[in-house]
Each structure stands twice: as C-alpha cells, then as structure tokens.
Amino acid sequence: MKDSVELCVVDIENMQDLKFVKKAAKLLQKLVSNGAAIGWVDPPLTEEVADLLLELTIASENSNACLIAAWVGQDLAGIGYWRRYNRPTHYPHADIEKLAIDPRFQGRGLGRQLMNQLISTAVKAGIEVLTIDFRSDNERAAKLYKSLGFTEYGRLPRFVAIGTDRYDKMFYALDLR
C-alpha cells in the first residue's frame, strides 16, 4: 500500500467526533448500496450507525467489544469490530460482526491488517474463540479468513435471500487458545 495506514481502537473520545461517525455511516451506506454483504439489505441510517458505534465503544470499556478504524490520511478506509457473546457459557467467545473496507482501498492488504488487529485485541481481552459469518459468494473474504487460520464450522444452504438470489451463510471460527 503506497499510503501509510493508521489503525486505531475507537473509544468514547472518538465517538464525540461527529466527523468519524458521519464517515463511518457514509462508508457503510456506500458499501451496502453497492451490494456488499455486511449485514444490511438497505443502507443503514446515520443514526443507526451512530447508535451501533456508541454501543460498541461503551462495551469496549469492559473488554466486551473492540471497534477498530483504519485511516489512510484523512480518509476512513475501513472499520472492523468484534463483540463478546454475553451468555455465561459463551463469555470467552466473540464474533467479528463487521469488516468493511472502502472499495478505493480494497486489494491492498487492509482487510488483513484490520483482521490481525482484531485478533490481537481479542487475545488481549481473553477471547478463546473468534467466529465470523459471511455470504458464500464473498470468496475474497473466505480466502482471507482461511489464510489467518479460520476454519469452516458450519453452513446454512441458501439461507441469505437477496431478491430472487440465494446464498449460503458460512460460519468460520478461529481458536485462540
């Protein structure tokens, strides 16, 4: 990557910066509008993204979540986060719920950098198993996750419906013990 990338854990102070919230909302809206499978069928409202980010930063104060932003200069190039399962039997487990990279920065290793940082913060938080799920047509994601040591532990055939198209929902896990 020719431009330097800065990865930072987002905390409450960052959340008070409305520019960050607006940039994150714009990034997620743009990705969803272009068909990215990141958890929304329709682009999320800015308020919905703001609520999600605030929830994550509050949970991160107790090591129950971690939100990481990737910056290239003044551009928000990507975000990713994990959230701990809060059931007592699942407490040492967390799910990487989002990994979103701006198309301008895809294919440059930014997803790998973000994933490595997410894994590192999960280890420090005492997470034993990280899980992630994604739509089966996202072959680039599958390749990345496998290269980081994730293994498939399940699949729901034709579970995701986008109009008349159907996709498998893939489940991967990384054992951190």
Share of the chain above pLDDT 70, in %: 99
List, for residues 106-129, the tens digit of each pLDDT value. Answer: 999 999 999 999 999 999 999 999
Are 72 and 105 a contacting pair, CB within 8 Å?
yes
Give the integer Cα–Cα distance in Å for 86 and 125: 14
3 state SS of 50: helix
List, for residues 4-18, the tens digit of each pLDDT value. Answer: 889 999 987 777 778
135, pLDDT greater than 50:
yes
Tell me the whole-structure pTM to 2 decimals: 0.92
Q: For the chain, what is the domain count? A: 1
1, pLDDT greater than 50:
no
82, pLDDT greater than 80:
yes
E-strand ranges in 39-164 read: 65-72, 75-84, 93-101, 129-135, 151-162
74, pLDDT greater than 50:
yes
Domain containing 26 equals 5-175
Assign residue 56 the CATH number of its domain: 3.40.630.30
Q: Give the pLDDT of residue 2.
A: 62
List, for residues 140-177, the tens digit of each pLDDT value. Answer: 999 999 999 999 999 999 998 888 999 999 999 999 99
Angle, alpha carbons 91-94-96 (nearest 5°): 165
Q: Give the pLDDT of residue 125.
A: 96
